Amino acid sequence: MSETATETITAAPRKRNSRAGLYVKRFCRNKPALGGLVILLLLVIMAVFGPLITEWDYEELDFFSLSQGPSGTHWFGTNELGRDVFAMTVHGLGRSLIIAISVSFMTVLIACFLGALAAFLGRTPEKIILGIINFLLVCPSFLLMAMIAQATGGNWVWLIFVLTLFGWMSMARVFWQLSTSIREREFISAARYMGINGPTVVFRHMVPNLGSLLVVQFTLGIVSTVMSETGLSYLGFGIKVPDVSLGSLLMDGQAVLATVPWTFFFPAGTLTLLTISVALMADGLRDALDPNSAAGGKA
């Protein structure tokens, strides 16, 4: 090989991709996950800008269009009170998204911190924390959530609090199991030797090493929160009128399904798209962040 060719190869080394770039490439190779991301973005755009493109408010009554089918005036039709189904669906989608993202974010933080802290402390503190988690797991959480939500009058802020209060325990065990291997690594032993306090070690050294699991659990948490909120609202323990969510719309729509089916099917279709899109994204993120997975292609 000539000296010129050698200099050219030396001067132009192969560019290495960053870890984030590899994750993005692996995720984009997963077509179902990419389709889920597109659907989710469209639903978010619908929730944000939907109220701006319709002349009807979700609380407004049109007494001249009671139980009217989809039309140019009411795109998704109206219910038996004359409320615009499109406006209610858009508002309910936004409300369900706010609740799901808020609850998923807070439950993941609580579960990650307590799981990692239990693993870091070990011995008696670990047994105490795990004992509390196991006790809360066997409690009838759905019944307690329904009772508290009913007592608070269906306020969506209180609903976020209730779902967060009973939604972190199973995830905490997942984070604890992974943290038990991280606590044996050299940098954790060095932090212990230097006298760094427990919460600092957990936040600065253990939690960052749980990043991939945090992302996946946060995404899956959105799906489970949407289903929990929908179940509570469907049974009458969630969002109360005049406010609406997708679950409360399903509860109202199923009562008149035979006569006014559009009041049920449009919210049900929106909820189905939301849960499927987030579930596809979670699968894609899990494959992209897992170095042993072949679903996302070679990194």
Orientation of helix 211-234 relative to helix 85-121, angle to 10°: 130
DSSP-derived letter for residue 208 is G
Q: Determine which of 20-34, 215-229, 280-294 has the lowest per-residue pLDDT on average.
A: 280-294
* 58-92 tens-digit pLDDT: 888 888 888 888 888 888 888 888 888 999 999 99
Which pLDDT does position 45 carry in this prediction? 94
Q: How confident is the model at residue 251 (pLDDT cuts 50, 70, 90)?
A: confident
Which pLDDT does position 19 carry in this prediction? 67
CA 65 – CA 72 distance, rounded (Å): 12
Would you say residue 228 has pLDDT above 90?
no
Would you say residue 153 has pLDDT above 80?
no
Would you say residue 37 has pLDDT above 60?
yes
Among the residues of 54-122, which ranges form H helices?
85-121
Mean pLDDT value of segment 118-140 = 86
210: nearest Cα among 117, 295, 283, 75: 117
- DSSP string for residues in 130-142: HHHHHHHHHS-HH
Would you say residue 17 has pLDDT above 80?
no
Mean pLDDT of all residues belonging to the chain? 81
Q: How confident is the model at residue 10 (pLDDT cuts 50, 70, 90)?
A: very low
Does residue 153 come out as left (phi exceeding 0), alpha (psi in the -120 to 50 range) or beta?
left
| pTM, to two decimals | 0.80
Spatial contact of 264 and 253, defined as CB atoms under 8 Å apart: yes
Spatial contact of 74 and 86, defined as CB atoms under 8 Å apart: yes
Percent of the chain past pLDDT 90, that is, above it, reads 15
Task: Compute the chain's Rg from CA coordinates.
Answer: 24
Q: Which residue has the higher pLDDT, 199 or 292?
A: 199
* 277-287 tens-digit pLDDT: 988 888 888 87
Q: Determine which of 97-106, 110-119, 270-279 has the lowest per-residue pLDDT on average.
A: 110-119
Which pLDDT does position 39 carry in this prediction? 93
CA 39 – CA 26 distance, rounded (Å): 19
C-alpha distances out from residue 245 to 12, 148, 180, 248, Å: 57, 18, 40, 5
